[in-house]
Amino acid sequence: MGRHRDPFAVLGPHANGDKTLIRSFQPHASSVELLDSKGEPLIGMRRVHPDGIFSASIPANISAYRLRITTAGGHVYDIDDPYRFPSALGNLDLHLLAQGEHHELYEKLGAHPLTLQGVAGTHFAVWAPNAGRVSLVGSFNDWDGRRHPMRLHPDIGVWDIFMPAVGKYDFYKFEICDAACKLLPLKTDPLAQYHESPPGNASRVYESSFTWSDNDWMRHRGNAPDLSQPLSIYEVHLGSWRRRHDDGDRWLTYRELADELVAYVVDMGFTHIELLPVSEHPFDGSWGYQPIGMYAPTYRFGEPDDFRHFVNACHQAGIGVIIDWVPAHFPRDTHGLSRFDGTALYEHADPRKGEHADWGTLIFDYGRNEVRNYLLASALYWIDEFHIDALRVDAVASMLYLDYSRDAGEWLPNEHGGNENLQAVSFLRRLNELVHEHGAMTFAEESTSWPRVSGPTYDGGLGFTYKWNMGWMNDTLAYIGEEPIHRKHHHDKMTFGLVYAFTENFLLPLSHDEVVHGKQSLLGRMPGDEWQRFASLRTYYGFLFGHPGKKLLFMGNEFAQVREWNHDTSLDWHLLDKPQHRGVQALVRDLNQAYREIPALHELDCSHEGFQWIIADDRDSSVLSWIRQARNGDFVICVSNFTPVVRHNYRMGVPAHCQYRERLNTDDQKYGGSGVCNATLIDSEAVESHQQPASVQLTLPPLSTVILQVAE
């Protein structure tokens, strides 16, 4: 059964007067011989127990030795005895682990190839404080949990062992007995850096040999996040962006994506790529949002160094990388974190705090120091080891509220009687402080009215860099889905977002969640005939890029994917054979270019100083116009006409009496529009209108957004 909690007290070398007594447990051996460090025989070991315990004494001045094993089948091989090596965990490591403050946890727990006392091998360590026994099992010991029980550090509940000759790519798991000596299902390493592909679920030893060449990018990133910079994000699910139809419809690899995806994003003018979670996950259909390996890029697209290559390629091309990161919950798979040592270790024991009924998952115990340490170190691991530029934290609302999606009686209030998860709040604040200290950003996917999500922690905020503006997204998508004739009755949905637009540092997301589960694609939501649907979508994109707030588009939206997103198939790239889809793609490319090049469109995205309404109340015409302003006073004017009616001689106030020109018109023929436009130069008049000192008379194209600049 292997019930002994301190195998190093029995096995390996032990001083015995002028001799060293050595014991070894080799249940598969017919004989065991001691060798010196050069491999020369010293003495045969005596079997002292029929199940395979061997013993021998050697002179005390011999400190290094090896074992020669002869199996019952006659196979002979030599090994270094793992029980002669000390722990690779130093006193500072043990102290920080005990405090739950080891921010480089990934360097000490998990599997780490190293050389100890001149012998190459791998050090393994795992936290399982309530276990009766933890053994390392793998391909190197026939998955026999009797052969390599680990050393317990009782004060911190960490078990470790150094395994000579075990190295990169070797498969392993932990065999754990609970406190009552009941054998649990084999467990994957919570800090594994690489995982086996299904149907297996073992961890694999990994050692990076990657050389980074993004020094210039990282030096620049070392500064605090700059809210005045343009931020236009292309959200991607790596498994379905594009596939190799000529090779079994397989996924692209990280290295192929480094060539194809990066080049595409550069061409389209986005500033960042955001990846749906790349943390290892057992089920493709979870899209990565039920992670089981918080320290491992998924095996699906290659090795961890291949993912490093992808990030490096992004940075060399001037593209930032954001990953979705999921500290809210984890799946119940028996080989994962669930009841890891036979107890509710990572999760709350009380289901009223520890279970997500909606998702069938378990909730992390944010009040436990070791669990907080596990999650915080995971965040820093992606930032420091993979040079990730930002984390988009998923399902923040589910973390903040104890009664999230729970009926009365199904949740427990906090010590003040409220529904706020105070431990999760503390965790999130510390997370954001650490991430910012490491030069990266955070995004909160948070859908409630929790105050100051992007406010600084020193002033009571949660400390995120940005918050997803889910209210804006819901309101504007509902509006644009109305028939144009009815939009005047829903006009407030397009203006309400400006009531609170500067209460947070907002990002405007048109994300993957809006093109699945029967919601249709964005194009599919647009009413009317084909021309009106494409025109409405182009108008909406123009409104998005003119509106205050950073931008996000999910893949496929940029060329008007027709069907809903399906994670099992590639995007419908063949649609680009059609001019209407190429037109939308060209528009998004030009919108990104304008957004990046014109400071007025991005510098004051998060400040009321950068926005002013001109016309917000023309609901009968479904027209909106507004000013976007830069720090130096330069400005552009945005005008959206949400009806298919051409409006001639439409008078609109302007802030300066000068000439204007169209910088962008979503009705341009090159985008698939009707080609209605204004003169090359638009003269203003010294006629006050809409509380502005001058005005212009415009032709408003049907279903269009126009951006006007001062003519130079």
Q: Is 445 a catalytic residue?
A: yes
Length of the chain: 712
Q: Is 107 a catalytic residue?
A: no
CA gap 671, 649 in Å, rounded? 24
* 140 Cβ contact list (under 8 Å, min separation 6): 163, 165, 166, 170, 172
Helix axes 369-386, 304-316, angle to 10 degrees: 60
HSE-CB of 509 using CA atoms within 13 angstroms: 23
Give the dihedral of Cα atoms 235, 238, 244, 250; nearest 10 deg.
-150
Give the dihedral of Cα atoms 279, 282, 288, 292; nearest 10 deg.
-40
CA gap 256, 154 in Å, rounded? 47
Amino acid at 354: G
Q: Where do runs of H (alpha helix) occur along 560-680? A: 579-597
Edge to edge, the sheet with strand 171-177 lists 133-138, 171-177, 203-204
Beta strands (DSSP E) in 359-483 are 361-362, 390-393, 441-444, 466-468
Pair of tokens at residue 272: 């960042």
Nearest alpha-carbon partner for 396 in 425, 439, 353: 425
The residue behind tokens 């694999």 is 204
Whether 703 contacts 622, CB under 8 Å:
no
Q: Which of 170, 365, 394, 446 is catalytic?
A: 394
User: Sign of dihedral through CA atoms 510, 516, 522, 528?
Assistant: negative
CA gap 429, 422 in Å, rounded? 11
Query: 610: burial class by Cβ within 10 Å (0-12, 13-18, 19+)?
Result: buried
Task: Report strand pairing: 119-127 vs 110-116.
Answer: antiparallel
Q: Which of 274, 445, 603, 668 is catalytic?
A: 445
* 287 Cβ contact list (under 8 Å, min separation 6): 237, 276, 277, 512, 567
Backbone angles phi, psi at 522, to 5 degrees: -60, -40
Catalytic sites, residue numbers: 394, 445
